[in-house]
Amino acid sequence: MALIFRNRPGLVAYVTCGDPDISTTKDVVLAAAQAGADVIELGVPFSDPVADGPVIQAASQRALDGGTQLNDVLRLAREVREQSDVGLIVFSYLNPIVRFGLARFCAAAADAGVDGALVTDLPIEEAGEYIEQMRARSLATVFLAAPTSPDERLKRIAEMSSGFVYAVSRTGVTGARNDISEDARELVGRIRRYTKLPVAVGFGVSTAEQFATVGDFADAVVVGSAIVKTVESAGKERAADAVADFVRGLRGATAGAK
């Protein structure tokens, strides 16, 4: 299966669920969808988010301090699905899913109306049972592809992915950057040799200009830290409106955006 990107380029918006609280996250998700996000990554807070930079690390810790767990994220997904058909991807590290129970997670995600998941620290070499359980519930399995991945590994990632392939724009952790690495354009071209799935580029996109630049060569663009920072800066009362304005700003930089 491939997720539907109604816009060109598609926008995948990441939120840390529970920061500042689940109710605000729901408002932010619905506002982002209304403003033009095609897919929302529902970030599950985790104590050791090694792939994430300081903005998302801090948001994750705030959400954990507030008591947010995986079951809260799945309940949030169900509530969002009752009001929106936006694509929903659970973005998690493996530990919360293992603690929850893999089969139980897949069943609960499907029942909640989730479209798929991205488990950031699950390598494809160890993902057999995960893929089997996810596909049994018709859930997309999104995997990360890095610029350092050799072609044979990119081929395997493409074969095991469904929904879309997440192309990491550069090595390192998440977070805003001043420019987009040329590695990203090359990586997208390499991935497209092995799959017809949409390719989304993430890590480092934070401005409308960067969004437009990446959108010239990728099917979709992932924006995470900039949205999380917007929520933090705006505060609980203004978070949803601020994120909607930010998303519209990203969309305004691309010709033909809907």
Return the closest-CA partner of residue 170 out of 184, 158, 153, 160.
184
How big, in percent rounded to 5, are the helix, strand and coil portions of the chain?
A: 45, 15, 40
85 labelled catalytic: no
52 labelled catalytic: yes
CA distance linking residue 201 with residue 11, whole number of Å: 10
Place of tokens 């539907």: 4
Return the closest-CA partner of residue 25 out of 42, 3, 8.
42
Return the closest-CA partner of residue 1 out of 205, 163, 135, 226.
163
Q: CA angle, 224 as apex, 73 and 45 as ends, to 5°?
A: 35
Which one-letter DSSP state was computed for residue 256? T
The residue annotated as part of the active site, out of 38, 41, 72, 115, is 41
The residue annotated as part of the active site, out of 52, 72, 115, 219, is 52
Active site residues: 41, 52
